[in-house]
Amino acid sequence: MATKSDPIPWADGPFSLIETPSVKRKSDHFYLKAATEMAHAHNVLIRSLNAILRQGPHIPTSTDPKYCAKDVADFLNYVRCWVQMVHHHHWVEEEFIFPEMGKFSGKPGLMDEPRHQHESFQAGLTNLESYSINTKPEQFEWKGPQGMERIIGSFSEQLTGHLYDEIEVLLTMGDLDSEEFKKTWLKAETIAKQSGNLKLLVEMVPLVLGSADKTYEGGEDFPPFPWFMPYVAHYGLAARNGSWRFNPCDFWGKPRPLAFGDSSSSIED
Ligand SMILES: [Fe+2]
Q: If you measure from the C-alpha of residue 36 to the centroid of ligand 1, how many angstroms do you get, rounded to a whole number?
A: 11
φ, ψ (nearest 5 deg) of residue 126: -65, -40
How confident is the model at residue 102, as a pLDDT?
85
Of all residues in the chain, the percent with pLDDT exceeding 90 is 58
Q: If you measure from the C-alpha of residue 147 to the centroid of ligand 1, how many angstroms do you get, rounded to a whole number?
A: 28
Q: If you measure from the C-alpha of residue 116 to the centroid of ligand 1, how many angstroms do you get, rounded to a whole number?
A: 13
* Structure confidence by residue, pLDDT tens digits, 238-249: 777 899 999 999
* Structure confidence by residue, pLDDT tens digits, 2-31: 445 556 789 999 999 999 999 988 999 999
Pairwise pLDDT comparison (8 vs 208), residue with the higher score = 208
Q: If you measure from the C-alpha of residue 128 to the centroid of ligand 1, how many angstroms do you get, rounded to a whole number?
A: 20
As a three-state string, the secondary structure of the chain is: CCCCCCCCCCCCCCCCCCCCHHHHCCCCCHHHHHHHHHHHHHHHHHHHHHHHHHHHHHCCCCCCCCCCHHHHHHHHHHHHHHHHHHHHHHHHHHHHHHHHHHHHHCCCCCCHHHHHHHHHHHHHHHHHHHHHHHCCHHHCCCCCCCCHHHHHHCCHHHHHHHHHHHHHHHCCCCCCCHHHHHHHHHHHHHHHHHHCCHHHHHHHHHHHHCCCCCCCCCCCCCCCCCCCHHHHHHHHHCCCCHHHHHCCECCCCCECCCCCCCCCCCCCC
Pairwise pLDDT comparison (118 vs 65), residue with the higher score = 65
8 Å CB contact between 181 and 104: yes
Half-sphere exposure of 8 (CA within 13 A, CB side): 18
Q: If you measure from the C-alpha of residue 243 to the centroid of ligand 1, how many angstroms do you get, rounded to a whole number?
A: 24
pTM (2 decimals)? Answer: 0.91
Q: If you measure from the C-alpha of residue 42 to the centroid of ligand 1, how many angstroms do you get, rounded to a whole number?
A: 6
How confident is the model at residue 268, as a pLDDT?
38
